[in-house]
Structure 1
């Protein structure tokens, strides 16, 4: 798995990251930065990737 590959995330984690990304964009964050921050936030909250 390469860096940046989101295939190991659950649908819920992807959905949450998308909502976080949209929130950052509403606050005026550039799209690329918003996406980076959203995934960093999701990793902090969920611990990253699928959990059993």
Structure 2
């Protein structure tokens, strides 16, 4: 099997990689780099392709998703209610401004 061949991955793993890559591209990462990072994440979480052989059905770990959730939660917990409120108001104003830009 040549390098880069995705035939040993399940449909779910392929969908997961596509979704992760889309997220990276939305944040400004190039398409090639986003795809590379996405497959690295799938490999890290699932231990590689699960389609055939004795490794099939190995449970997913979701380590990367957990890490992201913990990081976000820890950041919010370290701030006061007033700081969180100010941040939310600023974010709402930014979303409103961006929405106006796209409609014109």
Q: Same fold per TM (> 0.5)?
A: yes
Computed over aligned residues only, the root mean square deviation of the Cα atoms, in angstroms, reads 0.6
**Looking at CA atoms only, which structure, 1 or 2, has the larger radius of gyration?**
2
Q: Which one has more relative contact order, counting CA pairs under 8 Å at least 6 apart? A: 1
Segments of structure 2 that go 5 or more residues without pairing to the other structure are 57-104
| CA distance in structure 2 between the partners assigned to 1:28 and 1:42 by the alignment | 20
Segments of structure 1 that go 5 or more residues without pairing to the other structure are none
Question: Deviation above 4 Å: which 4+ runs of structure 1?
Answer: none
TM-score w.r.t. the length of structure 1 is 0.96
Paired residue total? 52
Flag the structure with higher helix content: 2
